[in-house]
Structure 1
Amino acid sequence: MALRPSLFRPPMLSPLPADTGRRRLLRAAVLGAGVLPVAAAFPARASAEALRTRQAGSRGAPTTGVNGDQGYESAGSFEIVADFYGPGPSGVVVTDAGRIFVGFPRHAVNHKGATLGELRQGKVVPWPNAGLSLPSSAAPADRLMSIHGMTMDTQGRIWAVDDGKLAGQPLQPGAAKLVCFDPETGHLLHRIILAAPALLPDSHMNDLRVDLTHGQAGTVYVTDSSFGHSPALVVVDIATGRQRRVLGTHPSTQAEPGFMAMVEGVPLVYTPGKPPRFVVGGADGITLSAGSERLFYAPLTSRRLYSLPTALLADPTVSEAALAAAVRDEGEKGTADGLATDAQGRIYITNFEHDCILRRNTDGTFDLMVHDPRILSPDGIFCTKTHVYCTLGQWNRLAGFNGGQDKRKPPYHLIRFPIDPVVAYDAEEKL
């Protein structure tokens, strides 16, 4: 699978004039046009107040926000890091040195490319090697089947959840597992096979976070969003491989019956027992607080965000009832898939309903970081010290949600945007 090298780190594009952009979007909606080639980067909007300050005086009222743009314009500064053809991307990790690793799961489409790859000079290089990442006759436990969620621990090691599922095939013994690699050498440091009773036949081990503050070697928290109707959290002790399934019947891990989302302008409702028309599931997005004191998680088919103290969650002696009592409802967060935390403890939330990425600040307020018609099914999300990276897999356009017709339109994007606002300069401003 190749990438177009010319799309690595492209120059920032200029914004469309406010009225022009809105007219084009409205015209496209009326004429049934596809996704518009809207500008890739726009002046950052750190906050409504900052925007008003910059536009004060003779420059007039704000062009976005209250009484301004009604949600048609692109917002926030972001750039396309890479475009993908072939398999769609999901998990992503970026090292301090700038190396980019991407997962390409096989549970929706059983592709023949790498399921874990590093982006190098315009190519997806199977990583850590072709023997592990490419399809082979090796036993499911001895190769990577379908890499989905990815993360990096505080020691700089790359972790990934292999959901083990190949499209159209049952989950095989040994296929679902957690893997940990040294990014410098590519050596496999940990391989923990997930098994019953933590693993169910319809499990979809979706995403993970690694807490090195609890347990002899640390603890891994996994969301099982479920290919059926049995979601839960799974807690894995790294040193022993001991694993347990928790909160499997608690509301905080469950998809909400009757949940409605607006997906590309179409109102879609989740009805258990009926074929889904959009991506649905239980516990999915997951992230740790900056110091690993709390685990935040959310069902995919829900607008609620929940959290738990990791001291309780990592302790195998804490009862299910005690865990349930400790769950904190953190309020609404929108329709989220991926979650990620920056060094300041702020949580970045992908939002497939509004084609955007939000930031939940530590005081519970939210900022709109980026919004654009191309941000379709924002999925894997990862924070570096300076940027947030996110994969856009167009999962809502898969054939399974569209009457057997695959409506995805490659390329699929990997984007990034700065954590701190882009500095705005004005040569006419008085000193």
Structure 2
Amino acid sequence: MTRTRPNLRIAVLLAAGTMLAAPAMAQAPAAGGPELTKVAAFDHQVTGVTVAKDGRIFVNFPRWTEDTPVSVAEVKDGKLIPFPNEEWNAWRNARKDEVSARDHWVCVQSVVADPKGNLWVLDPAAPAMAAIVQDGPKLVEIDLAANRPARTIAFDETVAPQGSYLNDVRFSPDGKTAYLTDSGARGALVVVDLESGKARRVLDGDPSTQPDKGVTVAYDGKPLRRPDGRGVEFAADGIALSPDGRTLYWQAIKGKTLYALPTEALAAGVTTALLPSALSDKGVANKVEVVGENGPADGLIIARRDGRMYVTSPQDDAIKVRDLSAKGSALTTLIQDKRLRWPDSFAEGPDGTLYVTTSRIQDSAFYKPDAPAALPTELWSIKLGAAEATGSTSPR
């Protein structure tokens, strides 16, 4: 991994207590389409974003191609505030033998606010998406009233084995269960009983959690490949949960298929061990359904405001939308814009505003050896309205 000098310069644009960009950053919508507004610009590669019930915005920066000085931060008063404090953000590659991975951010991939209003941080603890740091994989709940960690659920090798990369998380409406994707070489889902802290991998190696055969992730009309010829190989990545908590959705980035599963099929396997893992996994696999084809996609979210699924489409610099109420409905383009360079993760604000990060994965040192280790990225917002009910396209 390449180390860089700690650089905390972050450009964030705020106005009137909300995160709004200067007028020059906004692109006028076409044919009644939504407006894309730059909310923040960062000096480092961002992935996750979430907005708490009270409107507080949090982001995270994984240690992929740089030893980033901040892993989790709150965007506040025009600045990035290391969260929950500087100590939790103090882990560095050079200090890994002197700083505990149990209570420091190692390589955070996702931040998500739960239905109760607290923040959860998912740390796969695999810098450069390579070897997992011992005792590092964890899911940490932070009490936003006190701004301090409330509990840590540590994952051992049965949940986060070498080769795994825990990616994203969703929470049941009752706050009792968490559902995670593993986008690593061993693609799977992980179900966590939040009351007991017990977790279990499911659909480990199942076709539904693996990259789709024959699918190539391309950009600018060419297959996206590393210098050694490897392409994008991310397995189960994007994840979404229906508002009633009854249906879980996911897909691989290197894939086109959106899958779904009734969450009741996952409940018993976490807290009991009545069946051998192979038998119970077979029963779960039999209940997986194909919803449709999204094409290669990264982030998924089902918006509270309208119950529709929003999908990031990195190949197209686009955000697309699916009406889940109509079985077999086609995926339509909500907005397509060159500034959405690898749209990554979604969040929904209390007022229904949609937020999306652009992680620029195709521009990173993984795929462009001459790229800077510290890659500038952005956070964008989209105001949704009735005009987007059928989907529309903004000019490129």
TM-score class normalised by the smaller sequence: 0.7 to 0.9
Q: Which amino acid counterpart does residue 11 of structure 2 have in structure 1? A: R
Q: Which amino acid counterpart does residue 310 of structure 1 have in structure 2? A: T
Query: Any residues of structure 2 matched to 1:225-244 within 5 Å, and which?
Result: 225-226=183-184, 229-244=185-200
CA-atom RMSD, angstroms?
A: 2.4
Secondary structure, counterpart of 1:315 in structure 2: helix
Equivalenced residues, count = 358
CA contact (8 A) 1:236 1:243 kept: yes
Secondary structure, counterpart of 1:233 in structure 2: strand
In 2: Cα distance, 1:185 partner to 1:275 partner: 48
What is aligned with 2:205?
249
Seen in structure 2, the aligned counterparts of structure 1 residues 44 and 160 have a Cα distance that, compared at 3 Å, is farther
Q: Give how far 1:6 is off.
A: 4.5
Query: Any residues of structure 2 matched to 1:87-126 within 5 Å, and which?
Result: 87-111=44-68, 113-126=69-82
What is aligned with 1:32?
none
Q: Give how far 1:240 is off.
A: 1.5
CA contact (8 A) 1:132 1:144 kept: yes
Seen in structure 2, the aligned counterparts of structure 1 residues 185 and 400 have a Cα distance that, compared at 3 Å, is same
Matched, 1:379 2:335: no
Q: Give how far 1:291 is off.
A: 1.0
Secondary structure, counterpart of 1:380 in structure 2: strand
Select 2:36's aligned residue among 69, 78, 83.
Answer: 78
In 2: Cα distance, 1:143 partner to 1:5 partner: 25
Q: Which amino acid counterpart does residue 361 of structure 1 have in structure 2? A: D
In 2: Cα distance, 1:370 partner to 1:160 partner: 29
Per-residue Cα deviation, 1:42-90 (whole angstroms, up to 9, x for no partner)? 22656xxxxxxxxxxxxxxxxxxxxxxxxxxxx63110000111x2111
In 2: Cα distance, 1:201 partner to 1:358 partner: 33
Per-residue Cα deviation, 1:270-317 (whole angstroms, up to 9, x for no partner)? 9xxx7424x431100001001111110001110110011111112215
Secondary structure, counterpart of 2:332 in structure 1: strand
What is aligned with 2:393?
none
Matched, 1:149 2:114: no
Select 1:210's aligned residue among 159, 171, 186.
Answer: 171
Q: Give how far 1:187 is off.
A: 2.2
CA contact (8 A) 1:126 1:134 kept: no
Query: Any residues of structure 2 matched to 1:167-182 within 5 Å, and which?
Result: 167=128, 170-182=131-143
Matched, 1:400 2:358: no
Greater C-alpha Rg: 1
In 2: Cα distance, 1:121 partner to 1:82 partner: 12
Which has the bigger relative contact order, CA under 8 A and spacing at least 6?
2
Seen in structure 2, the aligned counterparts of structure 1 residues 169 and 305 have a Cα distance that, compared at 3 Å, is closer
Secondary structure, counterpart of 2:191 in structure 1: strand
Query: Any residues of structure 2 matched to 1:312-351 within 5 Å, and which?
Result: 312-316=265-269, 319-343=280-304, 344-351=306-313
What is aligned with 1:307?
260
Give the TM-score, by structure 2 length: 0.84
Seen in structure 2, the aligned counterparts of structure 1 residues 372 and 241 have a Cα distance that, compared at 3 Å, is same
In 1: Cα distance, 2:63 partner to 2:266 partner: 30
Seen in structure 2, the aligned counterparts of structure 1 residues 266 and 327 have a Cα distance that, compared at 3 Å, is same
Seen in structure 2, the aligned counterparts of structure 1 residues 325 and 207 have a Cα distance that, compared at 3 Å, is same
Seen in structure 2, the aligned counterparts of structure 1 residues 109 and 275 have a Cα distance that, compared at 3 Å, is farther
Q: Give how far 1:390 is off.
A: 0.7
CA contact (8 A) 1:132 1:142 kept: yes
Q: Which amino acid counterpart does residue 327 of structure 1 have in structure 2? A: V
Q: Give how far 1:96 is off.
A: 3.2
Q: Give how far 1:11 is off.
A: 4.2
In 1: Cα distance, 2:39 partner to 2:384 partner: 16
Q: Give how far 1:183 is off.
A: 1.9
CA contact (8 A) 1:293 1:311 kept: yes
% identical equivalent positions: 29
Select 1:187's aligned residue among 148, 154, 157.
Answer: 148
Unaligned residue ranges in structure 2 (runs of 5+):
1-7, 389-396
Q: Which amino acid counterpart does residue 366 of structure 1 have in structure 2? A: L
Q: Give how far 1:341 is off.
A: 1.1
In 2: Cα distance, 1:323 partner to 1:130 partner: 42
What is aligned with 1:418?
383
In 2: Cα distance, 1:145 partner to 1:164 partner: 5
What is aligned with 1:282?
235
Secondary structure, counterpart of 2:286 in structure 1: helix
Select 1:164's aligned residue among 125, 130, 134.
Answer: 125
Q: Give how far 1:409 is off.
A: 9.1
Per-residue Cα deviation, 1:131-162 (whole angstroms, up to 9, x for no partner)? 11232633101111121122221111111210
In 1: Cα distance, 2:281 partner to 2:107 partner: 30
Unaligned residue ranges in structure 1 (runs of 5+):
14-38, 47-74, 424-431
Give the TM-score, by structure 1 length: 0.77
In 2: Cα distance, 1:168 partner to 1:396 partner: 15
Matched, 1:389 2:338: no
Select 1:359's aligned residue among 321, 325, 329.
Answer: 321
Detail structure 1 runs of 4+ shifted over 4 Å in the superposition. Answer: 5-8, 407-410
In 2: Cα distance, 1:311 partner to 1:105 partner: 32
In 1: Cα distance, 2:265 partner to 2:165 partner: 24
Per-residue Cα deviation, 1:237-276 (whole angstroms, up to 9, x for no partner)? 1122211111112111001233123312323479xxx742
Q: Give how far 1:175 is off.
A: 0.4
CA contact (8 A) 1:397 1:408 kept: no
Secondary structure, counterpart of 1:117 in structure 2: strand
